[in-house]
Amino acid sequence: MSPIVHATVTAVGGILAGLALAAALLWRQQQALQVARYQASHDDVTGLPNRRLLLTRLRAALSEGAPCGVVLLDLDRFKTVNDTFGHDTGNLLLHHVGRLLAGLDAPVEIVARLSGDEFALLVRGDRDEVAAVARAACQVIGGAPLRSRTHEIGVRASVGYTHTRVPAPPRQLLAEADAAMYQAKRDRTGVHGHHPLAPSGGRSRDRH
């Protein structure tokens, strides 16, 4: 091989190696960006969307002017599960409940874990459809205990829901569903819907 050809081959090889390295670095950066975006919008225990993503999707739904609702729930006596069986089992229960809720059919648009044992569902549809989803969520959680080799953990949920046909602040809808959920917990009815003309029953605890 002549010196000129050898130099040309060497130069081309160096360029190709440089391009391959640059492509590999770009791919790694893209992967890291995708992971960061996922972690910023999803819960690390259940894999469900988090509060941030729920609010984003809720704002989008409200901006379209289509009827929609929010279903909010938490698990009764979840602290007892943590205290009795440990936090690892508590996390397994949260993952179990998240999977049950994610399996609900349309018109559920998104299921999110907000914090602790609190979950929220964005529902597209009229008030009857939102109420039906709330009842279905309560039933599916109560009807599917977490089973392991050593024990079976039954769990129940208190569920509140609200509905709107006009644009409203997302946090207002969450507050309405929260108040309804507290009413369901206080009355032990399982499910309670927010009614605009009904007096507020207060809140069970401060929420983020």
What residue has token string 């009229």? Answer: 126
* Furthest-apart CA atoms within the chain: distance in Å: 93
The Cα 54–Cα 137 span in angstroms is: 17
The Cα 140–Cα 134 span in angstroms is: 10
Question: Is 117 tagged catalytic?
Answer: yes
- Could you say which of 43, 76, 117, 178 is catalytic? 117
Which amino acid type is present at position 6? H
Q: 10-16: list long-range contacts, CB under 8 Å, 24+ apart.
A: none
Phi, psi angles (nearest 5°) of residue 49: -55, 150
The Cα 139–Cα 134 span in angstroms is: 9
Phi, psi angles (nearest 5°) of residue 206: -65, 140
Active site residues: 117
